[in-house]
Amino acid sequence: MKITGLKERLGFMTALACLVLLIAGTVYYVFDFKMPGPFVPHLTPDAQAPPLAEASPDSYMDNVSLLARVIMGEAGDEPYNGKVAVGAVMLNRMQSSAFPHTLSGVIFQPNAFESVDNGFIWFRPPSSEAIQAAIAALSGWDPTYGALYFWNPAKPVNPWIWSRQILTQIGQHVFAL
Amino acid sequence: MRTSRSSAAIVALAILWGVTALWGIGQVRAKRQTDVLLQNKYSRAFYDTLQRTKNVEALLSKGLVSGSPDQMDAIFSDLWYNANSAQENLNQLPVSHDVVAKTSKFLSQVGDYSYSLSKQNKTRNLSDKDWQTMQQLYRTSASLNQEMSAVERAAATGSFHWTEIQGGLAKKLPQGSAGSVDNSFRQLETRLQELPVLVYDGPFSDHIDKIEPQGLTGGLVSLDQAKQIARSFADLGGAAVQQTVVSGEVRGKIPSYSLALRTGNGPQDAITINVSKQGGHVVLLLNPRPVAAAKLTDDQARTQALSFLNSRGLTGFMPSYTLRQQNVLTISFVSTQDAVAVYPDQVKLQVALDNGQVLGYEALGYLTSHHRRALPSPKITAAQAKAKLSPRIQVLSERLAVIPTTSKGESLAYEFKTKLADETFLVYINAQSGEEEHILKLLNLPNGTLTL
For residue A176, what pLDDT is reported?
Answer: 93
Same domain for A6 and A62, yes or no, is no
Q: Which whole number is the average pLDDT over B397-405?
A: 89
Q: Please answer yes or no on whether B248 and A131 come within 8 Å at the CB atom.
A: no
Q: Which whole number is the average pLDDT over A57-70?
A: 75
Q: Are B356 and B293 in contact (CB under 8 A)?
A: no
Q: Helix H segments across B120-271?
A: 128-156, 164-170, 180-191, 223-233
Res A86 pLDDT > 60: yes
Q: Helix H segments across A33-142?
A: 52-55, 62-75, 80-94, 103-107, 114-117, 128-138
Q: Please answer yes or no on whether B250 and A168 come within 8 Å at the CB atom.
A: yes
Residue A168 within any structural domain of the chain: yes
Same domain for A33 and A93, yes or no, is no
Same domain for A29 and A56, yes or no, is no
A60 pLDDT band (50/70/90 cuts)? low
Res B3 pLDDT > 50: yes
Same domain for A112 and A154, yes or no, is yes
Res B173 pLDDT > 80: no
For residue B94, what pLDDT is reported?
Answer: 87
Residue A71 within any structural domain of the chain: yes
Same domain for A89 and A168, yes or no, is yes
Nearest CA in chain B to A84: B286
Average pLDDT of chain B? 86
A129-152 exposure pattern, b = at least 16 Cβ within 10 A, e = fewer: bbbbbbbbbbbbbbbbbbbbbbbe
Query: Quick check: helix, strand or coil at residue B298?
Result: helix
Same domain for A148 and A68, yes or no, is yes
Residue A47 within any structural domain of the chain: no
Same domain for A94 and A16, yes or no, is no
Query: Highest mean pLDDT range out of B63-72, B222-231, B233-242?
Result: B222-231
Same domain for A8 and A73, yes or no, is no
Q: Nearest CA of chain B to the CA of A42: how many Å?
A: 18
Query: Whole-model pTM?
Result: 0.84
Give chain B's radius of gyration (CA, Å).
30
Residue A114 within any structural domain of the chain: yes
Between B26 and A14, where is the model more confident? B26
Same domain for A132 and A165, yes or no, is yes
Average pLDDT of chain A? 79
- B-chain CB neighbours of A129 within 8 Å are 268, 288, 290
Residue A135 within any structural domain of the chain: yes
B169 pLDDT band (50/70/90 cuts)? very low
* Side chain identity, residue B177: S
A79-88 exposure pattern, b = at least 16 Cβ within 10 A, e = fewer: bbbbbbbbbb
Long-range contacts formed by A173-176: CB under 8 A, 24+ apart:
A173/A75, A173/A78, A173/A82, A173/A85, A173/A86, A174/A150, A175/A85, A175/A89, A175/A144, A175/A147, A175/A149, A175/A150, A176/A147, A176/A148, A176/A149, A176/A150
Res A51 pLDDT > 60: no
Q: Please answer yes or no on whether B252 and A177 come within 8 Å at the CB atom.
A: yes
Q: Residue A57: which of B101, B112, B446 has the nearest Cβ? A: B446
How many CA atoms within 13 Å lie on the side-chain side of B112? Answer: 23
Measured in Å, how far apart are chain B's first and last C-alpha atoms?
84
Q: A175: which strand partners?
A: A150, A168
Nearest CA in chain A to B289: A129
Query: How far apart, in whole angstroms, are the C-alpha atoms of residue A70 and residue A86?
Result: 9
Nearest CA in chain B to A132: B326
> Nearest-5° angle of CA B205, CA B211, CA B216?
160
Q: Nearest CA of chain B to the CA of A64: how many Å?
A: 10
Between B86 and A30, where is the model more confident? B86
Res B377 pLDDT > 60: yes
Residue A46 within any structural domain of the chain: no
Q: Please answer yes or no on whether B348 and A139 come within 8 Å at the CB atom.
A: yes
Same domain for A11 and A85, yes or no, is no
Structural domain boundaries enclosing A6: 1-38
Q: Which whole number is the average pLDDT over B273-296?
A: 93
For residue A26, what pLDDT is reported?
Answer: 66
For residue B177, what pLDDT is reported?
Answer: 41
ipTM score: 0.87
Same domain for A69 and A31, yes or no, is no
Query: How far apart, in whole angstroms, are the C-alpha atoms of residue B449 and residue B345?
Result: 19
For residue A30, what pLDDT is reported?
Answer: 59
Res B239 pLDDT > 80: yes
Res A25 pLDDT > 70: no
B119-165 residue pLDDT tens: 877 777 788 888 888 898 999 899 889 888 888 888 888 777 777 65
Residue A44 within any structural domain of the chain: no
Query: How far apart, in whole angstroms, are the C-alpha atoms of residue B106 and residue B91?
Result: 13
CB within 8 A of B393, min separation 6: which ones?
B418, B419, B420, B425, B427
Q: Which whole number is the average pLDDT over A144-156?
A: 91
Q: Nearest CA of chain A to the CA of B323: how many Å?
A: 9
Nearest CA in chain B to A56: B447
In chain A, how many domains are there?
2
Q: Are B43 and B162 in contact (CB under 8 A)?
A: yes
Res A10 pLDDT > 90: no
Same domain for A28 and A115, yes or no, is no
Q: Nearest CA of chain A to the CA of B283: how many Å?
A: 9
For residue A29, what pLDDT is reported?
Answer: 59
Res B339 pLDDT > 80: yes
Residue A45 within any structural domain of the chain: no
B407-420 residue pLDDT tens: 778 889 999 999 99
Q: What is the CATH number of the domain that holds A163?
A: 1.10.10.2520
